[in-house]
């Protein structure tokens, strides 16, 4: 009886020293996104600016020192309006010299005509004087043109978008002095990254939103895509023709261009963080109504800046894990945090 009394307290002491059982593990916290189906896929929004359909650089047809610039950037000019002037002193002297030579040749030719009428000189001598007169008249006309070329005129009505030379600068013939955007059709200039160049085609529809016009939307189409990338930015320049846009839209106005493609119908975009690679095959975690997760294989048509384009494997209204997908296990239950947005 004494031994039993000793063993019983000892067992109670050992039970008191044993560690408590581990607490039950709480479900993992997972951010969940609801997938929404759509008939069209928004490939991407691109920032652009309003440009004239064509722009031209204006320069003098002769060399000289620029003495006067008559317009600034943003000036609206009319066809034939003077934009800048060169120092005309040398051209004026040249015109005076050639005019004097023309006068001498004209008097000489007149005298030979009189002599020829009296048969004092041969016809060949008269022809030589007539030829000399024609040459000096051509030189005089050229000199007059050179004098007129000292004033640079606008060849069409438009807006000055860039000034490339200032007074005091010596410019060569043909050197750009102004850039002129003619009045007329307006377009949106954008730059396409290498990853998207294959998804945008000539004639493809687009929706243009003008920021400064309270979100006014204008339909457009792709008119031009550069065949070569810019060597610095590695992007491809593209132009969007606007349908029924005001030709007086301010140049340089910021716009957003959105392309819609129906080539992939009922496609969905999900965040890249929701994609789980299972044996090199993409999948997403579906979150059921009881908060359990299961892996769903999907087919990805393309990767865009907006996310992964899912062509098969998902339906609108399904809930998927939007982040932390590599820590999930099939069948486990999670605590759901609903995201503010939905996948497209």
pLDDT in tens, 301-322: 777 666 787 878 888 788 899 8
For residue 296, how many other CB atoms are within 10 A of its CB? 16
Q: Considering the entire predicted model, what is its pTM?
A: 0.55
At 240, list the tokens.
Answer: 């969007």
Percent of the chain scoring above 90 in pLDDT: 35
Residue 7 has pLDDT above 50, yes or no: no
pLDDT at position 82, please?
Answer: 95
Q: Given 3.30.70, 1.10.287, 3.40.1350, 3.30.420, which CATH number is that of 88-148? A: 1.10.287
Look up the CATH number of domain 44-54+183-261.
Answer: 2.40.30.170
To which residue do tokens 């004639």 refer? 203
Residue 41 has pLDDT above 50, yes or no: no
Q: Given 3.40.109.10, 2.40.50.100, 2.130.10.10, 3.30.540.10, which CATH number is that of 59-87+150-182? A: 2.40.50.100
Q: How far apart are CA 296 and CA 284, in angstroms?
A: 5
Residue 270 has pLDDT above 80, yes or no: yes
Look up the CATH number of domain 28-39+266-343.
Answer: 2.40.420.20
pLDDT at position 132, please?
Answer: 93
Residue 83: band (very low, low, confident or very high) from pLDDT cuts 50, 70, 90: very high
């Amino acid at each position: 009886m004494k031994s039993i009394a000793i063993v019983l307290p000892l067992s109670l002491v050992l039970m008191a020293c044993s560690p408590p059982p581990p607490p039950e593990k709480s479900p993992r916290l997972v951010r969940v996104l609801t997938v929404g189906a759509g008939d069209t896929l928004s490939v991407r929004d691109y920032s652009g600016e309003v440009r004239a359909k064509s722009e031209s650089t204006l320069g003098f047809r002769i060399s000289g020192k620029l003495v006067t610039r008559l317009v600034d950037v943003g000036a609206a000019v009319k066809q034939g309006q003077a934009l800048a002037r060169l120092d005309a002193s040398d051209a004026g002297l040249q015109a005076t010299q050639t005019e004097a030579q023309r006068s001498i040749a004209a008097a000489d030719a007149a005298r030979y005509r009189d002599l020829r009428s009296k048969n004092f000189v041969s016809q060949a001598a008269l022809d030589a004087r007539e030829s000399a007169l024609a040459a000096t008249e051509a030189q005089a006309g050229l000199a007059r043109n050179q004098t007129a070329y000292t004033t640079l005129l606008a060849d069409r009505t438009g807006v000055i978008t860039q000034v490339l030379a200032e007074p005091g600068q010596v410019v060569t013939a043909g050197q750009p002095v102004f850039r002129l955007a003619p009045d007329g059709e307006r377009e949106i200039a954008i730059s396409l990254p290498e990853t998207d160049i294959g998804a945008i085609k000539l004639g493809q529809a687009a929706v243009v939103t003008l920021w400064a016009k309270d979100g006014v939307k204008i339909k457009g189409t792709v008119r031009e895509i550069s065949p070569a990338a810019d060597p610095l930015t590695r992007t491809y320049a593209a132009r969007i023709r606007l349908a029924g846009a005001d030709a007086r839209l301010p140049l340089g106005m910021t716009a957003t261009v959105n392309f819609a493609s129906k080539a992939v119908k009922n496609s969905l975009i999900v965040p890249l963080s929701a994609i789980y690679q299972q044996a090199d095959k993409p999948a997403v975690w579906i979150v059921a109504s009881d908060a359990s997760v299961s892996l769903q294989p999907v087919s990805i048509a393309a990767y865009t800046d907006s996310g992964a384009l899912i062509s098969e494997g998902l339906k609108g209204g399904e809930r998927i894990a939007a982040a932390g997908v590599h820590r999930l296990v099939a069948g486990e239950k999670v605590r759901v945090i609903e995201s503010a947005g939905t996948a497209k």
